[in-house]
Amino acid sequence: MLMRVSVGIHKDDIDSAIRTYHLMSQRWFTHASPTLFNAGTPRPQLSSCFLICMKDDSIEGIYDTLKECAVISKSAGGIGVSVHNIRATGSYIRGTNGTSNGIVPMLRVFNDTARYVDQGGGKRKGAFAVYLEPWHADIFEFLDLRKNHGKEENRARDLFFALWVPDLFMQRVQNNEDWSLFCPNEAPGLADCWGEKFEELYKKYEKAGKAKKVIPAQTLWFDILKAQIETGTPYMLYKDSCNRKSNQQNLGTIKSSNLCTEIIEFTSPEETAVCNLASIALPRFVREKGVPIESHPSKLAGSNGSKNRYFDFDKLGERLLQLLLSI
């Protein structure tokens, strides 16, 4: 497998392929699962994480997004998808003169897709993380989706859930103030801005009476904590902090992280963010003074208890450079 992966990464660069093979076989680092699954195969999709946003609040947009999730999952990619722009329960649908069923039935379709389109054809389960901002009018139903009790038609237990939290919500919680819930179809643009612009638009909609419901902010906060205690989700990321620290501010507002929340990248209906992963084995860099690193017994790995042991940062830098050249 390691030789297949090395050749799949470097192709006709034989020297680099052999170097990567030896480094992996000596356990200096390993590549991520999609790379191990797919390198050197007819479909060499090597990336781990994909960030997408709902393409449009329409049947076409929803199912185009669902198809993209299925295609990514087929090739062993993990997915983070934001659904802030999907209209809430009871919102008017102009095209059919009806009303929306909200995000729960839609997310059940995504749930079934994650179950059906497993990663790499039976290698592991599909993994989708769904991000929602806490001003969305379906937020309480969203928090219940992974719970172990309740009606099955209101649950989506094979998805992972995350909140994309603006600072304004936490301020309202801290000050025990009210929090307004909106439908993005009736109060558009909240997901597309952050910081002061978000606060201005949010308060503008509050004054205009566009809220679907007004609740104490702490009521929602305690429901979030209850869901975390019962199910382990939603995990929480902070919208304003993520955007404030991003070097992609020129592209637009960042709307989510990925499945494992370790990257923050810009997405749009036309742009999918991608990241490649690998893991380096830090215990391999623990050294005994006077002993060549290749001669270290395995019992030294991970231990810095002896005064004669130290961490070899120079060797770490060397191996990191070699790893980066193979990602």
Give residue-wise pLDDT tens across range 172-219. Answer: 999 999 999 999 999 999 999 999 999 999 999 999 999 999 999 999
- Rounded CA-CA distance 131/134 in Å is 10
% the chain with pLDDT above 90: 72
Residue ranges of the domains in the chain? Answer: 2-31+279-324, 47-275
Q: What sign results for the dihedral spanned by CA atoms 187, 188, 191, 195?
A: negative
Collapsing DSSP to helix, strand or coil, 87 comes out as coil
Residues 21-49 have a mean pLDDT of 90
Q: Does domain 47-275 have CATH number 3.30.870.10?
A: no
Phi-psi region of 231 (alpha: psi -120 to 50; beta: other; left: phi over 0): alpha
182 bridge partner residues: 136
Residue 290 pLDDT grade (very low, low, confident, very high; cuts 50, 70, 90): low
Kind plus residue range of the DSSP H or E element containing 38: helix 33-38
Residues 54-75 have a mean pLDDT of 94
Q: In whole numbers, what is the pLDDT of the chain averaged over residues?
A: 91
Residues 152-170 have a mean pLDDT of 96
Q: Is the pLDDT of residue 70 over 90?
A: yes
CB 160 within 8 A of CB 129: yes
Q: If you search the block for the tokens 């497998």, which residue do you land on? A: 1
Q: Cα–chain-centroid distance for residue 285?
A: 30
Q: Cα–chain-centroid distance for residue 187?
A: 26
Residues 140-150 have a mean pLDDT of 94
Per-residue pLDDT at 121? 67
Collapsing DSSP to helix, strand or coil, 136 comes out as strand
Per-residue pLDDT at 301? 47
Residues 47-59 have a mean pLDDT of 94
Nearest-10 Cα torsion for 179, 183, 188, 194: 40
Q: If you search the block for the tokens 């172990």, which residue do you land on? A: 148
Residue 293 pLDDT grade (very low, low, confident, very high; cuts 50, 70, 90): low
Per-residue pLDDT at 295? 55
Peptide bond into 184 cis (omega under 30): no
- What DSSP designation does 88 have? P
- Rounded CA-CA distance 89/104 in Å is 9
215 bridge partner residues: 179
Q: If you search the block for the tokens 């000050």, which residue do you land on? A: 175
> Which residues lie below 8 Å from residue 190, measured CB to CB, with a gap of 6+?
84, 133, 135, 182, 184, 198, 201, 202, 205
Residues 50-74 have a mean pLDDT of 95
- Rounded CA-CA distance 6/36 in Å is 9
**Per mean pLDDT, which range of 177-181, 275-279, 309-313 is the poorest?**
309-313
Residues 127-142 have a mean pLDDT of 97
**Per mean pLDDT, which range of 92-106, 110-124, 206-220, 246-260 is the poorest?**
110-124
Residues with catalytic function: 258, 260, 262
CB 279 within 8 A of CB 32: yes
Kind plus residue range of the DSSP H or E element containing 142: helix 139-143
Per-residue pLDDT at 90? 93
Phi-psi region of 282 (alpha: psi -120 to 50; beta: other; left: phi over 0): alpha
Burial of 327 (0-12, 13-18, 19+ CB in 10 A): middle
Q: Cα–chain-centroid distance for residue 217?
A: 25
The tokens for 312 are: 């070899």
Which of 281, 316, 319, 284 has the alpha carbon at shortest distance from 301? 284
Per-residue pLDDT at 106? 97
CB 126 within 8 A of CB 119: yes
Residue 135's alpha-carbon distances to 211, 220, 226, in angstroms, are 9, 10, 18
- Rounded CA-CA distance 78/159 in Å is 11
